[in-house]
Structure 1
């Protein structure tokens, strides 16, 4: 008798609270704006970039790389060094921009495309040793610079997808657990090798990744609004449940440019409650047009997000 009461109670609970446990709510519109900065050493400073007080603003320092600082850099198995323009983007400048703008957070990005005259490869000796070195070296950089989060932007790999997933997944897990960072993002683009690594990471550790900075500007220059919306749909399925941000490149060299309908696409996504944020590569290039599209992006995000 008691058992049947239990089944009835469970049945009633399921009727009243269907799918509470297993289904995650789809992300909604957001006022998040993110901008990569410091990779090109053209003296851009945080204070040069216009910041709208009605958005959540993330600067992303580019890059910290686990290579040494020699003339022909070689991999260091997770021992990260600063490769951004640290003269203009120093710890004191991080503190200054955050103190004067309560809506600003600052992250660092790992990897990037190149180091010295060659590609920057993800090249761990072993999972355990890489994670141990990465946690230690990044904790020290993050604390020195008073940073808030990390972004994963490896684009070349000398390790299989599962190794990448375990290394990066454990790194993010440990930094979050230790209170060193409060958010993490990944920055994949539409390339088979790249996607195989990031999708493996997403499959195993998607629940601890806060944002997907998908590089939509890596698609062909001259992308149309309808193509862009379709690409967004495809990548939202690849990173299911994730906050996939839309993006453009300041120099107009790829993807859907602001001149050709990027903001039209943003408004369309916003009307569908799918505009999870915008990011830009990069502040270094945007200096040349007085950050015109940064202002426009933030104005769009600030309106009743």
Structure 2
């Protein structure tokens, strides 16, 4: 009698786990914030309690903060809007919303008026500097993860792979971060670097924030699905997230069929989550599409 009761409790607990909203792997919503210094705050952004919500602070860059910035070989500095997105504001939103996690994105497209290059002096020195400087930033802001968004390179793919792979591995092993993502897009040089990283270290990368908005403006739903399937093969076994750009300047726009594509992927159990570039731009439309995305991602009851 006792054994059967124990088995029933086990079965009930297992059912509860798989039925609970938190167990859904498709309810990840991520949003980049802070790169454009237009006074957006965490509290401005609508946050549904039915998703796991990641803010991604943009950006920390291994360049100095002079008026004409130059590379620092892995010594990262903060380049986001710290006046509105400070450590105390991070603590505040996380204490108010238990489903909010925080990440920092590394690199980005530009610094000051020039491109932000991945430009290490050597693998060992870059990794050592990056681990030290990022640990300080992550602890100061009480962040949960990192995102890799280098888009310009002065290194070969193998060097990039080793530097970033070792960085993620060390930060995870040290208990500094819980998750890591990469943010490639469909460009030959970019893909060669990120695919080298994925092939060697994909097992420690939790999300692929693929920049689908880097495809041509006016992308159709069927093209979008094709692109998604192609990139899912490129980053095989990864959680490839779909994405849009708030100002509609590229890819499949929210008003042009993005949510139709999401519903199709969701029905095929391929929708791992949605991310947006960026909260800074979404202020202008009242975060309309953030609300729609989170409603779509929320687990069905």
* TM score, norm. by length of structure 1: 0.90
Contact 1:29 1:273 (8 Å CA) reproduced: no
Tell me whether 1:156 sits opposite 2:152 in the alignment: yes
Stretches of structure 2 that go unaligned for 5 or more consecutive residues are 1-23
Distance 1:219 1:129 in 2: 35
Residue number among 215, 219, 226 corresponding to 1:219 in the alignment:
215
Give the 3-state SS of the residue equivalent to 2:148 in structure 1: strand
Give the 3-state SS of the residue equivalent to 1:274 in structure 2: coil
Q: Which runs of 4+ in 1 moved over 6 A?
A: none
Instruction: Within 5 Å, give how 1:2-81 maps onto structure 2.
Output: 30-81=26-77
Distance 2:70 2:152 in 1: 14
Distance 1:303 1:178 in 2: 33
Partner of 2:15: none
Tell me whether 1:99 sits opposite 2:99 in the alignment: no
Partner of 1:261: 257
Partner of 2:291: 295
* TM score, norm. by length of structure 2: 0.92
Distance 2:93 2:191 in 1: 34
Residue number among 262, 280, 289 corresponding to 1:284 in the alignment:
280
Q: Which has the larger radius of gyration?
A: 1
Contact 1:165 1:198 (8 Å CA) reproduced: yes
Residues 75-104 of structure 1 show CA distances to partners (whole Å, capped at 9, x for unaligned) of 000000000000100000000000000000
Residue number among 249, 263, 271 corresponding to 2:267 in the alignment:
271
Distance apart, 1:303 and its partner CA: 3.6
Partner of 1:210: 206
Distance 1:244 1:37 in 2: 20
- Aligned CA RMSD, in angstroms, stands at 0.8
Distance apart, 1:29 and its partner CA: 5.2
Number of residue pairs the alignment of both structures matches: 278
Distance 2:113 2:80 in 1: 15
Partner of 1:167: 163
Distance 1:158 1:107 in 2: 25
